[in-house]
């Protein structure tokens, strides 16, 4: 087996950890949507209790029906113009204040 530079191995480990987290989130999301899946498998088959353990990651939804937690602030053209004028005045005063 060829040896790889340590930084590539570290990046691969981080990528694998991220993918495992994504899979855990997806499993948790599926069980949340379809509660009957919780009892549809043998506990010896899959380590679902481990995957669904509390605190193992955040559930991320991509559904359009859920409201986003962050909505970008939209400024009107007049508001942008006012901010631009204020910032121009601010930076002009900063330039003039330099020794």
SS3 call for 3? coil
pLDDT attached to residue 66: 54
Cα distances from 49 to residues 30, 42, 72, 80, in angstroms, run 14, 11, 37, 51
pLDDT attached to residue 81: 96
Can you tell me which residue has the tokens 């991220």?
Answer: 18
Q: Is the pTM of this model over 0.85?
A: no
What does the pLDDT profile of the chain (99 residues) look like in tens digits?
567 788 888 888 899 888 988 888 888 888 888 887 777 665 556 555 555 655 555 555 555 555 556 677 888 999 999 999 999 999 999 999 876
């Amino acid at each position: 087996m060829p040896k790889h530079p340590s930084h590539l191995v570290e990046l691969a480990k981080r990528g694998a950890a991220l993918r495992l987290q994504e899979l855990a989130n997806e499993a948790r999301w599926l069980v949340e949507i379809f509660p009957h899946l919780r009892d549809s498998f043998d506990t010896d088959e899959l380590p679902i209790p481990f995957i669904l353990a509390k605190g193992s990651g955040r559930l991320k939804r991509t559904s359009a029906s859920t409201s986003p937690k962050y909505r970008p602030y939209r400024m009107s053209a007049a508001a942008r113009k006012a901010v631009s004028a204020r910032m121009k005045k601010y930076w002009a005063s900063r330039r003039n204040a330099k020794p």
